Homo-oligomer: A and B are copies of this chain.
């Protein structure tokens, strides 16, 4: 089983890729490439075979990540490749106690990193006052995200499966201690990587119709709720296919309706300050 796609796949396959991505409501675009086919076919994989991921694959995945754009070439991120089973077990516990992290042969922890610059500033007896502002944290979170998305897609193109782990933000100080992170470094998220198991049955999840998220020259609020209501039906049918009775609207309102929906991450501002990001 592989997630890699034949880049020369036929128009029928393209129509199926769009249909899976939007439910059945979206016609196929005529502008499709091998890259876009790989992107459309993305699904989150949480069942992995024990087979290792090769060093060469990790090297190519990191090269893909570094090839992503980065604000003013500042490169304010790093990544820890975690393979040690005991460490991976402890990180899994800290990241929502998710078993698939333990089973993934590689767990990549993506870091917003200003410690490299702090070392340079120290050596050159230079200040680093700008790093204390919200803007600098945003630059780091944006750039590490651009990099990690390239990494995830590169891994998928190699036949690997991946899933992002926001739970790596659940206990930032404890995770930093496990990975020996210095001041001014914090985990943005994890990425579990491995060969999909034969039991993996994850499917491409439909997204909101384009009418809900795309605007032309000015933002429109009035077109969104009809598209969301259409999506509510699409995603309900998708979840029913998995034996679940889920409402997207209910789920987003539970997540953001109260502080409790943040599951402890309401203290990430404090944790960022503890890690050396002062968010001024």
**Residues of chain A at the chain B interface (Cβ within 8 Å):** 4, 7, 18, 21-22, 26, 29-36, 38-42, 44, 54, 56-57, 59-60, 62-64, 66-75, 77-84, 87, 111, 113-117, 119-121, 123-124, 126-131, 133-136, 138-139, 141-143, 145-146, 148-150, 152-154, 156-158, 163-164, 166, 169, 179-182, 185, 188-189, 205, 207-208, 210, 212-221, 224-225, 228, 235, 248-249, 251-253, 255-259, 261-262, 265-266, 268-269, 272, 279-280
| Interface of chain A: mostly helix, strand, loop or mixed | helix
Max chain B C-beta neighbours (<10 A), residue from A66, A154, A157, A188: A66
By the criterion CB–CB under 8 Å, are B207 and A66 in contact? yes
Q: Would you give 9 A-B contacts (Cβ < 8 Å), ordered by A?
A: A21-B63, A74-B256, A78-B213, A119-B224, A136-B262, A142-B189, A150-B153, A181-B219, A185-B219
Give the complex CA separation of A117 and B261 in angstroms.
Answer: 14
By the criterion CB–CB under 8 Å, are B218 and A180 in contact? yes
Write the nearest CB–CB distance from A152 to chain B, whole angstroms: 7
Give the complex CA separation of A207 and B64 in angstroms.
Answer: 11
Residue of B nearest to A123 (CB): B225
9 additional A-B residue pairs with CB within 8 Å, beyond A31-B59, A83-B216, A139-B166? A33-B154, A36-B158, A62-B213, A71-B166, A77-B213, A138-B268, A145-B149, A146-B146, A182-B219
Q: How many copies does the complex hold?
A: 2
By the criterion CB–CB under 8 Å, are B72 and A255 in contact? yes
Max chain B C-beta neighbours (<10 A), residue from A7, A34, A80: A34
Give the complex CA separation of A78 and B280 in angstroms.
Answer: 27
Residue of B nearest to A253 (CB): B126
Write the nearest CB–CB distance from A225 to chain B, whole angstroms: 6
Give the complex CA separation of A138 and B220 in angstroms.
Answer: 24
By the criterion CB–CB under 8 Å, are A145 and B135 in contact? no
Give the complex CA separation of A151 and B4 in angstroms.
Answer: 19
Give the complex CA separation of A228 and B44 in angstroms.
Answer: 35
By the criterion CB–CB under 8 Å, are B35 and A35 in contact? yes
Residue of B nearest to A128 (CB): B256
By the criterion CB–CB under 8 Å, are A39 and B64 in contact? yes
Give the complex CA separation of A216 and B83 in angstroms.
Answer: 8
Give the complex CA separation of A270 and B149 in angstroms.
Answer: 29
Give the complex CA separation of A132 and B29 in angstroms.
Answer: 38
Interfacial chain B residues near A32, Cβ < 8 Å = 60
Interfacial chain B residues near A224, Cβ < 8 Å = 116, 119
Give the complex CA separation of A113 and B214 in angstroms.
Answer: 12
Known: A249-B124, A255-B130. A142 touches B64 (CB 8 A): no
By the criterion CB–CB under 8 Å, are A221 and B78 in contact? no
